[in-house]
């Protein structure tokens, strides 16, 4: 599965996609669910279940026409988001990249420590430098032919001996002058062997100069590599800690940081007539509880609905009595549900007494209502086309087809099919 992108995984057949998801780890499943826009909080088994459900839904939708005949509504194109089960080498980041670099750095450090001179530069001739070096070696190794021999001395001309001797002496004088000039020139001329010796010593001088400048840099590089290795070790350890903290934070945020649900300690009274005042409602509940359960302490309240921001809060038809624990609440309800105690009567109406709905159940109901309201705002849809299904497979239907589904349990659910691009307020 290494190097497989989310898009590549989603393009595989359903069976292969399920196998990929089942082999994925916790962090990989989180990344996949975040990529496809599904809740990524919870335990690994929950993440895998959501991923498999999405895979089945995704593959089922591939064969449908983009514009649904049932709704007549075409959703906008979904934005492309890049993601990986495991990052490709060109996109590695975080712990995976740190671990790869750490392994390479450790190998380099071990190789350096094995050498007798860890700071000695282990360079090689570059192709360009090797070519220039060969040219110089060719030039220095070149041999030159000696100059041509002088011509044979011609015989002396005939005539007087004194004239002959004078001519010889004159030529000898000219030759001595030439030889002296040649000796002066030779003293200033570099010999071939001297040039080779000069090149060798000059090369050694350059190498010594470069080594004097490079060796301190090499020592610093070795020390820097050692420091980088230590930093990478710390980075990998820190990344593991951060990953664990991220998982714990996501689990905390998924619960919205709520205190223990008080609804498990509450009994609700349903059906108060609108004309009954707040004081009378509270007195009605208190009188009934003290009559039937005189030795149990309760606090009382009435639910309101509406917006705090708009100051449109209004009293609802439901009140509650809260005790100190869920066990006491259950004991009270056992007596009520046995049929021996009838609910209180007010305004000519007998109130229904029941256990309060849990906060998670309330959130699920609110999610369906908000999803329904959002769908009614979509162009091309009328209010009559949208219906909430409270029982069985819970969700919101558009013209008889599910547009929002809510799985069993505590999950709020999400939009599906042509409406998968929508996101309900949470």
The set of long-range contacts for 134-137, using a CB threshold of 8 Å and a minimum separation of 24, is: 136/199
Burial 157-185 (b: 16+ CB within 10 A, else e): eeeeeeeeeeeeeeeeeeeeeeeeeeeee
Q: Are 375 and 394 in the same domain?
A: yes
The answer on 413 and 288 residing in a single domain is: no
CA–CA distances in Å: residue 418 to residues 58, 149, 305, 367, 402: 11, 104, 33, 19, 10
Any domain includes 398: yes
The predicted pLDDT at position 90 comes to 40
Task: Identify the domain boundary among 208, 232, 257.
Answer: 257
Looking at the fold, whether 271 and 300 belong to one and the same domain comes out as yes
Residue 376 lies in a domain: yes
Tell me, what's the pLDDT at 124?
A: 59
Could you give the CA distance from residue 320 to residue 252 in angstroms, rounded to a whole number?
A: 29
Number of domain units in the chain: 4
Is position 249 within any domain? yes
Asked whether residue 21 is domain-assigned, the answer is: yes
The count of C-alpha atoms lying within 13 angstroms of the C-alpha of 148, restricted to the half-sphere facing its C-beta, is: 3
User: In a structure prediction context, what are the per-residue pLDDT tens digits for the chain, which is 426 residues long?
Assistant: 445 677 777 888 888 888 888 888 877 887 888 788 788 777 888 888 888 888 888 776 654 444 444 444 444 443 333 333 433 334 444 445 555 555 666 666 566 555 544 444 445 567 887 888 788 888 777 777 777 777 776 776 666 777 778 878 888 888 888 888 888 777 777 777 778 788 888 888 888 888 888 888 888 888 888 888 888 777 777 777 787 787 777 766 665 555 678 888 999 999 999 999 999 999 999 999 999 999 999 999 999 887 787 788 899 999 999 999 999 999 999 988 888 888 999 988 999 999 998 888 888 888 999 999 999 988 888 889 999 999 889 999 999 999 999 998 888 889 998 888 887 544
Residues 243 and 313 in one domain: no
CA separation for the pair 26, 18 (Å, rounded) = 15
Structural contact between residues 18 and 52, judged by C-beta atoms closer than 8 angstroms: yes
CATH at residue 308: 3.30.70.330
Tokens encoding 411: 């999950």
pLDDT of residue 104: 63
22 and 57 both lie in a single domain: yes
Of residues 81, 107, 116, 117, the one with CA closest to residue 6: 81
Q: Which two tokens stand for residue 10?
A: 């989603």
Show which of 257, 282, 314 is a domain's final residue.
257
d(CA 378, CA 371): 11
What range defines the domain where residue 414 resides? Answer: 361-419
Structure tokens at 412: 């709020």
pTM (2 d.p.): 0.38
The closest of 380, 374, 369, 265 to 327, measured between CA atoms, is 265
The CA distance from 127 to 96, in Å, is 36
Domain boundary residue, one of 323, 357, 391: 357
The answer to whether residue 222 sits within a structural domain is: yes
Strand order in the sheet with 266-270: 299-305, 314-322, 266-270, 352-355
């Amino acid at each position: 599965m290494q190097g497989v992108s989310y898009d590549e995984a989603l393009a595989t057949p359903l069976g292969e996609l399920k196998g990929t998801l089942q082999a994925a780890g916790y962090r990989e499943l989180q990344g996949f669910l975040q990529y496809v826009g599904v809740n990524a909080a919870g335990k690994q088994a929950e993440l895998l279940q959501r991923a498999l459900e999405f895979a089945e839904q995704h593959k089922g939708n591939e064969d449908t026409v983009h514009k649904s005949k049932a709704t007549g509504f075409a959703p906008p194109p979904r934005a492309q988001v890049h993601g990986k089960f495991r990052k490709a080498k060109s996109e590695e980041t975080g712990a995976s990249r740190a671990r790869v670099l750490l392994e390479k750095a450790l190998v380099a450090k071990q190789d350096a420590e094995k050498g007798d001179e860890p700071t000695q530069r282990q360079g090689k001739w570059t192709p360009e430098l090797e070519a220039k070096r060969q040219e110089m070696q060719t030039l220095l190794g070149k041999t030159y032919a000696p100059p041509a021999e002088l011509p044979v001395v011609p015989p002396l001309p005939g005539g007087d001996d004194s004239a002959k001797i004078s001519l010889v002496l004159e030529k000898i004088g000219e030759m001595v002058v030439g030889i002296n000039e040649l000796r002066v020139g030779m003293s200033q001329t570099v010999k071939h062997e001297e040039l080779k010796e000069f090149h060798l010593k000059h090369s050694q001088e350059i190498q010594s100069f470069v080594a004097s400048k490079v060796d301190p840099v090499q020592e610093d590089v070795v020390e820097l590599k050692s420091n980088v290795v230590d930093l990478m070790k710390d980075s990998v350890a820190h990344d593991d800690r951060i990953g664990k903290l991220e998982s714990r934070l996501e689990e905390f945020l998924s619960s919205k940081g709520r205190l223990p649900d008080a609804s498990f300690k509450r009994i609700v009274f349903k059906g108060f007539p609108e004309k009954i005042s707040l004081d009378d409602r509270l007195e009605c509940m208190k009188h009934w509880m003290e009559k039937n359960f005189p030795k149990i302490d309760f606090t009382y309240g009435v639910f309101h609905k509406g917006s705090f921001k708009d100051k449109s809060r209004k009293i609802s038809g439901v009140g509650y009595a809260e005790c100190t624990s869920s066990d006491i609440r259950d004991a009270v309800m056992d007596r009520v549900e046995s049929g021996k105690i009838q609910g209180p009567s007010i305004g000519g109406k007998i109130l229904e007494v029941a256990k309060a709905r849990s906060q998670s159940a309330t959130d699920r109901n609110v999610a369906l209502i908000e999803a329904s309201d959002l769908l009614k705002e979509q162009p091309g849809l009328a209010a009559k086309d949208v219906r909430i299904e409270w029982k069985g497979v819970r969700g919101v239907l558009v013209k008889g087809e599910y547009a929002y589904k809510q799985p069993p349990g505590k999950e709020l659910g999400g939009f599906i099919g042509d409406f998968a691009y929508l996101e309900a307020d949470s």
